[in-house]
Chains A and B, each alone.
Chain A
Amino acid sequence: MRNIKFLLAGVVFGIILVKSQVISWFRIQEMFRLQAFHMYGIIGSAIAVGMISILLLKRFNVKTINGEPIEIPKKRFTWGNVWGGLIFGLGWAITGACPGPLYALLGSGFWVIGVTLLSAILGTWVYGLVRDRLPH
């Protein structure tokens, strides 16, 4: 099963999300109320480490474990980045969780978050339905 390695990567990510309390609604409140550095430190240092890693991978021309050259998909700007971003931001402050934490909270035994996750799937589905009528 070639996908098992991604399952294991997910396990590691899930453990980090819980142990750093990123999945806590209270931590997100602290962040948006500018009353703690915790979340800013996590996102900031994650970006810094991600950036340095990418530079090193490129500099040393590192290949994937299958020997392929590393490819980074380009993101194209659409107005969806703005409108969708604002809608997600408003929702993020309510649920106190972005998609990764929703999965981790469910695993942590907060069953009600299963409803939030289903609702997020429904939101994604409705987006797919009305996509052509939205400004992009």
Chain B
Amino acid sequence: MTSDHHARLRILAAVAALAVVLLALAALAACGSSGGATSSASPSATGPVTVTDDSGHQVTLARPATRVVSLAPANTEIAFALGAGGKLVAGTSYDDYPAAAKALPKIGDFQSPSVEKIVSFQPDLVLAAGGIQAGLRAKLENLGIKVFVVDPSTLDGVYTDLTALGKLLGVSDKATTVVAAMKQRADAVEQKVAGLSRPTVFVEIYSKPLMTAGKATFIDNLVTLAGGTNIGDAAGSGFPSFSSEVLFKDDPDVYVATTGSMATPVQIAKRSGYSGLKAVKDGRVYVIEDNLLVRPGPRLVDGLEQLAQMIHPEVFGSPSPAASTTP
């Protein structure tokens, strides 16, 4: 055959050899990283733990996690509440509670955490959120990292997550205590409002356009538990926009704005036409910290108690002075 043909054969052989070498390297790398938490460690005295997370997947750890990365401010709060804050090696740039959380190294923000950075911390457990982070689970598990998705939709769901995470972090006793305390506070509120009439409540998430919390939100759940009726329900689920006309037609008894609206009760009362609202005339316009109502974590009960004060001050006492229209 011609030398041309020989040259081509040589090139083909070289490429094939290179491919084999690359494949071998890849195989080695894959073998190396899939070690993770399950294969390398010898089973501990307590044995492997399996729990189911909120995305329906099972998460198994041979021994309690020691290097935890949190991908949501709520998950960071949960870790600290369980006394496992010391096991956190990284959090998101929005982690702000408790104060110690701010000092954690960051893996990016809530919407698009850096997978590279997560891996660089060599976690044995990652606490992810639902929704926008749904795709992350598969990516991280492909890299051999265990992921627990925290995405409850009710207070009971939060208790379940706290218990499950207690097992994974090796702090089951503490988890039981925390859940019991939360349940006790929530039940106390529920009992005190049972049988009372339910004032209508409007929760303002944002003012321009006017947005509220509808069905299937924690806010809606908590307003109901606190003994009120959320008029935002009529607008659908999630955080829909709400017609100002209907707000005035419904004329709610209590007006609660979240800190996201960036307005004080006095400013709200001064808005065009608002002086005609019952809630303004009765001085029942309040502002509440939104994190207490939207982060699926232990502080939801704080939010519940504050809402209860705003909705039934006759039972729980008035909210702190900073929260009302009376200066």
Chain B associates with chain A: no
Q: List residues of chain B with CB under 8 Å of any chain A CB.
A: none
Q: List residues of chain A with CB under 8 Å of any chain B CB.
A: none
